[in-house]
Amino acid sequence: MATAIVLKREIIKSRLINNILGVSIFVVLTSLGAFVRIPLGFTPVPLTLQTFFVLLSGAILGPNLGLFSQAGYLLLGAAGLPIFSGAGSGLLYLFGPTAGYIWGFIIASFVVGRLIDSRPPKAKLNFWSIFLYMSIANIILLLCGTIWLYLGLRFTIKQAILLGSLPFVAGDIIKVILAAHLYKNIQIRTKEIFS
């Protein structure tokens, strides 16, 4: 009986450590993704690698831990760490042109995690299912950014779509394909670690 209790405590402790490490790793990866930045001259929103890590955070960590990783990223940047795109930081950054996308990171990570977790336990998803789930989450992320440009920064709806969504579709498709392919190959192991 005592051995079973000790073993259970060790499993809980191990799972907690895995969860903390997983969330921390995705905070760092999302931050690093912000430094892979390609400014576009015609829109205030740059291309970054962040969405690749946002989608993977939800897929790998699950909806709650994925959400925590992206909320942690947002909070650290808002607190002053220069981890937003262009080494930006601070609360004011959360009201600039990329604010909707940053808030969308939290939603997108949760959504992709929830969609992937809706499968039966131990079931392995095929590439197309993962691609579909990540695409849905990515569309939500783009919508968050576009809606912010429209409502928060007073762009016209046409400007918000032309400057906040359309320039990113091709790059996002590539990121979704790569993220879906990577997750397909590691999904069983990640579920063992983070469930």
Query: What does pLDDT average to in each consecutive run of 10 residues of the chain (195 residues)?
Result: 58 82 97 95 94 98 97 97 93 94 98 92 88 98 97 96 96 98 94 81
Q: What's the one-letter identity of residue 116?
A: I
How many beta carbons lie within 10 A of that of residue 62, not counting itself?
24
Cα separations (Å) of 106 from 20, 50, 192? Answer: 17, 12, 23
Look at residue 194 in the predicted model and tell me its pLDDT: 84
Look at residue 2 in the predicted model and tell me its pLDDT: 58
Q: In the numeric block, which tokens belong to residue 131?
A: 């691609």
Q: Write out the chain in H/E/C secondary structure.
A: CHHHHHHHHHHHHHHHHHHHHHHHHHHHHHHHHHHCEECCCCCCCCEECHHHHHHHHHHHHCHHHHHHHHHHHHHHHHCCCCCEHHHECCHHHHHCCCHHHHHHHHHHHHHHHHHHHCCCCCCCCCHHHHHHHHHHHHHHHHHHHHHHHHHCCCCCHHHHHHHHCHHHHHHHHHHHHHHHHHHHHHHHHHHHHHC
Look at residue 1 in the predicted model and tell me its pLDDT: 56
Look at residue 191 in the predicted model and tell me its pLDDT: 83
Look at residue 94 in the predicted model and tell me its pLDDT: 92
Locate tokens 């760092």: which residue? 28
Q: In the numeric block, which tokens belong to residue 48?
A: 């970054």
Q: Phi and psi dihedrals of 47, rounded to 5?
A: -80, 135
Reference 113, options 129, 131, 137; nearest CA is 137
CA 117 centroid distance within chain: 16
Q: 2-194 adopts what CATH topology? A: Arp2/3 complex 21 kDa subunit ARPC3 (1.10.1760)
